[in-house]
Structure 1
C-alpha cells in the first residue's frame, strides 16, 4: 500500500494522519506535545516517533497490537510525508530537524519530505482546487497570524507573513487581543460614564467578566489583571476565583475570550459585539498587507479573487467571527475565491499530499 503521512506538531499534542493513494484516511494517532521551540531534538523526535508508530498500527485490519518499528527496517512505508511543526520558524531550525525526520521515516531529504511551520498546513486545501495556486492561511486561536503561500512542485513557498509576534508585541485578532480589548472597552465605558454623570449601559459581558474575577466594580478588574499573587497569599483568595488569579496575566486575559464570544453571539450583547468588531477589523487590516496587485515594490502580494483563504484556530472556528474578518476584508475590496476552515490540519494535509502526488503522476 502506498501511504502518505502528515504530522501536525503542536504545543499541546502531536497529530499524525496517514492516507492511501486515493486520499482515504487509513490511520491516525494523537501523541504528546511536540512544539520544537520548547523541546530538545531528542524529545521532539521521541514524540513524533511514538505518534507515527501508533498511527501505523491503525493501518492494518484489525489494528496491530505490536509497535511498528521506526526507523523502518527496510523500505519506508511512506511515499511522502509532510510535517507542520510549531516553533519551527527559521531555515536553521528546519535544517536542524530535517536529517532526524528523514532518518526516522526512511525518506531521503528532498521533494518527498516537506518540513515547515505548522501554518503551512493551512495551505493544503489549495490542492483540492485545481484553479488556484495561492493561499492565505489565517490562524486565530490564543494568538493570531496570517501567511500567504504559492504552490510549487516541491510543496508550498511562503510569500509573506503578518503577526504571530506573541502577546507582548501583538497577536491582534487572537484570544489575548479579544480579552484585552474587552477589558479596555469596559474601562473606557466606565471612564466615559464618570464624565457623563450616568452609569454605563448594562452589559452581560461585563457581568460575566466581573464574576470571573470575583469583583463587583469594573475598576477593580485592574487589580485582577495586574496583581501578582505570591503562593502564601493564594489562601486568602475565594476558591472560585483562585485559578484566574494564579494564571499568568496574559492567560487571565486570553481566558476571557469565550465569555466575550458567548455574550456576543448567543446574547447579542452590544459591548461584546463591539469588542469583536474591533479585534476582527484590526486583524483584517493586518491581513490586507498580504493582498493586492503585485508589482516591483510588492512582488509577493496575492490577489484575493485568485486565492483561497484557509482558517484555523479555536476563534476562527466560530463561523460568526470568521464572517466578521471576511466582511472587513471585503470592505477593503478583498473577496476570496474560496474560503475554508481547517479543523483537522493533519487530515487535510495528508489528503492534500496524496492528491498532489496523484496529480504529478497524471
Structure 2
C-alpha cells in the first residue's frame, strides 16, 4: 500500500490523517493529548499508536472493528509519514522520539519519516502557491508560537522561531495570554479607580469573569487565580469547577469569555484586551520578518510569503484581522493568508503531493 500519514500531536488531541498516492483522504482518527513536553515517552507512544491504529481501521471499503496492530507485522503500510508534535522544540527531542516512531510505523529513520514541531505542518500551504517558497506558520490556541520556513528539496527548512515557551514563560497571543491580560486589565482598572470618586466603568467581561469564579469583588479574583492547584482529595462539594482547574487553565479558559464579550457584545474592556494581545503577538511574529541581509540571512519578506494560521483562537477571523492589522502597521503585509483548520489533512495531502512531484 502507498499510504501517506500525517499526525498532528497537540496538547488537547491527536489527529491522524492518511492519504493515498493521489492525495485522497482514505483514513482518519482523533485521539487523546500527545504534547511531547507534558508526557512520558511511553504515554506519548501510546496516544499516537492508538490514534494511528484507529485511522488505519478506516482505510478499507469495509472498516475493521478490530485494532490494526502496530508495529506492522510485515512491510509498513506507509510510504512516508510526517509528524508535527507540540513540545518537540530541539534536535535532541527529535532524536529522542524518532526511534520510537520509526519502530512503531516500520519506517526507518531518514527522509521517509519527518518529525518536527507541530508548526511545521502549517508550511504545507506553500505548495498551493507556486510563486512563493517561504511561509510563516502561526499557531494561536491555548499557547502561541510562530515559525518561518523555506521550501527545501525534501520537506521544509526551518529558518526561525519565536514563542512556544509555555504558559510560565510566554505563550503570547494564545488563550493563556488572553485570559491573563483580561484579569490584569480588569484589576488595573480597579486599581486606577481606587483614587477616583467614580467606580470603574461597567463591563460585560468583568461581570462574566466574576460570575465564572462566583465572586462579587474584582480584587477577590487574585486569590482565585493564585490558589495552588487542588488535588481531587482536597476538593469539597462546594468548590466551583473553575477553582479545581490547574492555574494555567483557570486563565486560558477565560479566552472564550473575552472573545464573546469583544466580538458579540463590543465590550470596551474585552476589545482592549484583544488589541493588546494581538499587538504583542504581532510584534513577536515580526522578529521573523524583513529583508534578509548578511547580518540577518534568514529573515522572510512578508510580501513574498504566505502566513498560515492554525489553532482555535486564530480560527476566529476577527482575531486574525487584529493580528494582520498589527503586522501591517509595522510594514509587513503578506502576499497570501491561509487558515488551516485541519493541519493533519493539509499535511497528509502535501506529503502525498511532494512524492508525486518527485515521480514527475
TM range (shorter): over 0.9
Residues 236 and 81 (structure 1), Cα distance of their counterparts in 2 relative to 1, 3 Å cut: closer
What residue number does 2:13 align with? 13
> For the structure 1 residues 192 and 97, does the alpha-carbon distance in structure 2 shift closer, same or farther, using more than 3 Å as the test?
closer
The aligned counterpart of 1:310 is 308
Question: Separation in 2 of the partners of 1:87 and 1:233?
Answer: 30
1:112-191 superposed matches below 5 A: 112-191=112-191
Which segment drifts farther, 343-352 or 108-117? 108-117
CA contact (8 A) 1:5 1:81 kept: yes
Write out aligned runs for 1:61-140 (5 A). Answer: 61-140=61-140
1:209, distance to aligned residue in structure 2 (A): 0.9
Q: Give ranges in structure 2 of 5+ residues lacking alignment.
A: none
Q: What is the CA deviation profile of residues 172-203 of structure 1, one whole-angstrom value per residue up to 9, with x for unaligned ones? A: 11111111111111122222223331122211
Contact 1:128–1:355 under 8 Å retained in 2: no
Match of 1:323 in 2: 321
Alignment of 1:275-286 (within 5 A): 275-286=273-284
Unaligned 5+ runs, structure 1: none
TM-score, normalised by the number of residues in structure 1 = 0.93
Structure 2 Cα separation of the partners of residues 38 and 249 of structure 1: 16
Alpha-carbon distance, 1:59 to partner: 0.9
* Structure 1 residues 48 and 223, CA gap change in structure 2 (3 angstroms): closer
Q: CA RMSD in A?
A: 1.9
The secondary structure found in structure 2 opposite 1:235 is coil
4+ residue runs over 6 A deviation: 229-233
Deviation at 1:104, TM superposition (A): 2.4
Structure 2 distance, partners of 1:292, 1:268, is 34
Q: In the alignment, what sits opposite 1:35?
A: 35
Separation of aligned partners in 2, 1:184 and 1:228: 19
Whether 2:333 is the aligned partner of 1:332: answer no
- 1:24 equivalent in structure 2: 24
Deviations along 1:108-135, whole A, 9 cap, x unmatched? 3222211111111111111222222111
| Match in the other structure for 1:45 | 45
For 1:295, the equivalent position in structure 2 comes to 293
- Cα distance in 2 for residues equivalent to 1:212 and 1:65: 42
TM-fit CA distance, 1:234: 4.9
Q: Determine helix, strand or coil for the equivalent of 1:38.
A: coil
Q: How many pairs are equivalent?
A: 359
Measured after TM superposition, the shift of residue 307 of structure 1 is 0.8
Which residue of 255, 258, 280 maps to 1:257? 255
SS at match of 1:139: strand
